[in-house]
Amino acid sequence: MLTIDRPERRNAVDGPTAALLGEGYRRFEADDEARVLVLTGAGEEAFCAGADLKAIETFGNRIDLPEGPLGFTRLIPTKPAIAAISGWCLAGGLELALWCDLRIATEGSQLGFPERRWGVPLIDGGTQRLPRVIGLGRALDLILTGRFVAAEEALMMGLLTEIVPPGKHLERALEMAEALAAFPQDTMLADRMAAIEGVGLTFRRGLDLEARSGRATLETASRGAGRFADGEGRGGAGTGA
């Protein structure tokens, strides 16, 4: 679990916090026992309000770092990540949430790109990830207007995975993380990466990528098929993520 702990600034990220986020990400990637990352913000008022514009001088040359200004936003994780959102999820905070595979938010949460109002660009992956998550038309609506969307609208457009009662976002995210961590990992990770990488390919090349990914996990698939034949997992058991 990686927590942005600046509640007095609505968990807005300054330069030192961005560096710590990067360190946390690298620890996650290096730890074979850590199968899922849960990203959240301290308290319930905000997940993250983006970069701390009142401390912009603390970022130094981070804008040019290959990993991204906010720690890891220009990198693609090799394992699943879940955003546990409560309250404000804005600007770079929304870009951090979009970096994750799944997004759980509490009722009353608000999401958007308000930096549009001040001429601040999206530089942490938002222009690339948002269209891939909700489609170009809806993405341009949020990118161009800078309007906020409530959790219910965000769920409807596919920006959120699930809405939970206030205070339950972290509990639900951890529950989902445990479920994902319990699955056979090589096939899940292969399917995940085929989906991510396949978005930018032609349909034919995407199918070829899927076939190569599947071929590499045939041993696990064979064992799983045998367990299913023996009665394991019937009726949806074990799929409660």
Residue 95 catalytic? yes
Which element (helix H / strand E) includes 149? strand 148-150
Query: Which DSSP letter does residue 121 get?
Result: P
Catalytic (active site) residue 115: yes
Burial of 155 (0-12, 13-18, 19+ CB in 10 A): middle
Cα dist from 235 to 111, 223, 226, 227, whole Å: 36, 19, 16, 14
Q: How far is CA 177 from each of CA 35, 80, 139, 151, rounded to the nearest angstrom?
A: 8, 8, 27, 21
Give the pair of three-digit tokens for residue 52: 């701390």
Catalytic residue among 29, 33, 115, 232: 115
Q: What is the DSSP letter of 80?
A: -
Tell how strand 110-112 and strand 88-90 pair up. Answer: parallel
* Residue of 8, 29, 33, 95 with catalytic role: 95
Query: So which residues are the catalytic ones?
Result: 95, 115
